[in-house]
Chains A and B, each alone.
Chain A
Amino acid sequence: MTTLEREQALAPITVPAWTWLVVVLALAVVWALTLENGMVLAKSAGTLHEFFHDARHFVGVPCH
């Protein structure tokens, strides 16, 4: 690859608005999986916490 080609500007990828919805959804799932301790999902939080217990510890989030 020549220097000329490398310096050619790449066209930006258009990021449509719905992409941000996916990002929020993905982060919400990660939240439920790792950080939820009853702040949002009061009742099922304990169940989620215990089921994903080992993954929570392993990805390094604070745990009980």
Chain B
Amino acid sequence: MSRLLKLGALAGLVGGVVLALFLRLVGEGPIGDAVRLEASRRAAGTAHDEMFSRATQQVGGMIGAAVYGVCAGAVLAVVFALLRHRLAARDDWRRAVTVAALAFVTVSLVPFVKYPANPPAVGDPDTIGRRTALYLVMIAWSVVATWAGWRMTQWLRARGAADHTRLPATVGVWAAVVALGFIVLPGSPDAIDAPATLVWRFRLASIGGEAVFWGLTGCVLGWLLLRSSRPTPSQRALEDIAPPRR
């Protein structure tokens, strides 16, 4: 298990570093525009002391992305350990990528659709507590939805259902649970008064970064697992002399 955790953290580090580069190259464009918009609005009113310069915040953001990557990679490795023997796939690479794809949909994509990421300049400081709570409830509900789909797929597989029955039924159950959460939970309380183009440039960069992160972390974890399970040259030589009995 400790080896698997290390591989997960390493894969997450690779994903996190690429996420940091993605943030710097793709995300900082709209973030910079939003910060300038915020400053121009504020110029009329009172002066505002920033704790850190924009340059420091950009570096902090990149460090944050890398640390986030390591933590998310470690958690991904634990989820992988819990699910591995229940995932019907050809090898560990496919299993790792499957778990990472499920993680992307569950903790990034579904919460994003309900409460999309916003650039600076959008967001009322007074509603931050409420928005944070709603966001966490959405993530928790999304985990419930994925779990419900998982149970459905396990139940149908145990009953010997064919893939063309099992997969649509699984997606159907998952989508129904997600939809229920979307309907029941209230929308974000904040009005968005920044230009739609700016907001959506930022949102696409944000969800794109998450897709890159989970995709890459899953691939790297899979590669590391394949690499570490491959027999060493001496083992292979031994098998050539005395093939293992099947």
Chain A residues proximal to chain B, CB less than 8 Å: 1, 6, 9-16, 19, 22-23, 26-27, 29-30, 33-35, 37, 39, 46-47, 50-64
Q: Which residue of B lies closest to A52 (CB)?
A: B64
Chain B residues proximal to chain A, CB less than 8 Å: 1, 4-5, 19, 23, 27-28, 31, 50-52, 56-58, 60-65, 67-68, 70-72, 74-75, 78, 81-82, 84-85, 88, 90, 108, 111-112, 115-120, 123, 125, 128-129, 131-132, 134-136, 202, 205-207, 209-210
Q: Which residue of A lies closest to B22 (CB)?
A: A58
CA distance A61 to B85 in the complex (A): 33
Q: Contact between A58 and B209 (Cβ–Cβ < 8 Å)?
A: yes
Q: How far is the CB of A56 from chain B (nearest CB, A)?
A: 7
Q: How far is the CB of B97 from chain A (nearest CB, A)?
A: 17
Q: Which residue of A lies closest to B89 (CB)?
A: A6
Q: Which residue of B lies closest to A9 (CB)?
A: B85
The B interface is mostly helix, strand or loop, or mixed, namely helix
Q: How far is the CB of A2 from chain B (nearest CB, A)?
A: 10
Enumerate chain B residues within 8 angstroms of A60, measured Cβ to Cβ: 108, 111-112, 115-117, 206-207, 210
9 CB contacts below 8 A, A to B, read: A11-B85, A13-B1, A27-B71, A35-B135, A37-B129, A54-B28, A60-B111, A61-B135, A63-B128
CA distance A62 to B192 in the complex (A): 13
Q: Contact between A57 and B119 (Cβ–Cβ < 8 Å)?
A: yes
Q: Contact between B75 and A26 (Cβ–Cβ < 8 Å)?
A: yes
Q: Contact between A62 and B131 (Cβ–Cβ < 8 Å)?
A: yes
Enumerate chain A residues within 8 angstroms of B60, measured Cβ to Cβ: 50-55
Q: How far is the CB of A37 from chain B (nearest CB, A)?
A: 5
Enumerate chain A residues within 8 angstroms of B31, measured Cβ to Cβ: 54, 57-58
Q: Contact between B115 and A6 (Cβ–Cβ < 8 Å)?
A: no
Q: Find B118's partner among A9, A30, A63 (CB 8 Å cutoff).
A: A63
Q: A23-B75, A53-B61 are in contact. Are A62 and B206 (CB under 8 A)?
A: no
Q: Contact between A50 and B1 (Cβ–Cβ < 8 Å)?
A: no
* A27, A53, A58, most chain B CB atoms within 10 A: A58
CA distance A32 to B128 in the complex (A): 15
Enumerate chain A residues within 8 angstroms of B62, measured Cβ to Cβ: 54-55
